[in-house]
Structure 1
Amino acid sequence: MKALVVDDSKSIRQIERKYLEEMGFTVVEAENGEEALKVLKENPDVRLIILDWHMPVMNGYEFLKAVRAKPEWNEIKIMMVTTENQQKSVIDAIMAGANEYLMKPFDKEMLENKIRYLLEGSL
């Protein structure tokens, strides 16, 4: 199963990549939403997106809305991973089509549990 990690922090992408690969995922990366849209078009087999909120060029919320506007990407599970802890932001993300939400900082177990819950039945 393929996952896309979208975060402007290279170190966060590396951590998430390591955890996902240990779970058996093939991982592709992007450092902002605009780049992530290109990566998604080139990788139609992506089934999971781990998405940061705050990024330059195109933020996670804008990317989320762009993905959910395309019917061919409706089945992709999207988890927002961010320091953004305002309740309104969480609600906005869920309303825009995020399937799950994880607060930074997180550990491997927290990420794995969220992903397993999110993909239950597809792993």
Structure 2
Amino acid sequence: MKTCLVVDDSRVIRKVARRVLEDIGFYIAEASDGLEALAWCRTEMPDAVLLDWNMPVMTGLEFLKQLREEPGGDAPRVVFCTVENDVERIREALASGADEYIMKPFDGDILVAKFAEVGLV
């Protein structure tokens, strides 16, 4: 079973993502900020990360840059899921190692489609 780490400071977003991703066969782990997510990845590298941008302690972009430098950190597919819609921000995320980008609010169909696009479904 593939593992997805859902990283978002919103418990509601984590819960919605969990329901959608569990329905397509993922085991879900959760983190409420980038630092917590990085600690989780250092213990067990997930197959996928659904990542928010704006979080306390460590932003999604800071997390992504550090993740990609960790041993095995190039392996997870990272899908940003955020309200950040500026083209420059999207370019920055992709240049930093994100595989795909979803705008909030999202629905299950969009999430599944983006995971399929990056080869996770």
Q: What corresponds to 1:7 in structure 2?
A: 8
TM-score, with length taken from structure 2 = 0.95
Displacement of 1:71: 4.2
Map 1:32-71 to 2 at 5 A. 32-44=33-45, 46-71=46-71
Shift of 1:104: 0.4
2 CA distance for matches of 1:88 and 1:76?
A: 23
Distance 2:72 2:110 in 1: 29
CA offsets per residue over residues 42-77 of structure 1, 9 Å max, x none?
Answer: 223x10000000000000000010011124111110
TM-score, normalization by structure 1? 0.94
User: Could you say what secondary structure the match of 1:74 adopts?
Assistant: coil
Letter in 2 for 1:111: L
Runs of 4+ in 1 over 2 A off after TM superposition: none
Q: Distance in 2 between matches of 1:72 and 1:41?
A: 9
Q: CA deviation at 1:18?
A: 0.6
- 1:18 alignment partner in structure 2: 19
In the alignment, what sits opposite 2:85? 85
Match of 2:107 in 1: 107
Task: Write out per-residue CA displacement over residues 85-112 of structure 1, whole angstroms, 9 at most, x where no aligned residue.
Answer: 0011000000000000000011100000
Could you tell me how far apart the structure 1 residues matched to 2:43 and 2:30 are? Answer: 12
Q: What secondary structure is seen at the aligned counterpart in 2 of 1:72?
A: coil
Q: Distance in 1 between matches of 2:63 and 2:84?
A: 16
Q: Which amino acid aligns with 1:15?
A: V
Q: CA RMSD in A?
A: 1.0
2:35 is equivalent to residue 27 of structure 1: no
Q: Quick one: percent identity of the two aligned structures?
A: 40
Q: Distance in 2 between matches of 1:42 and 1:15?
A: 25
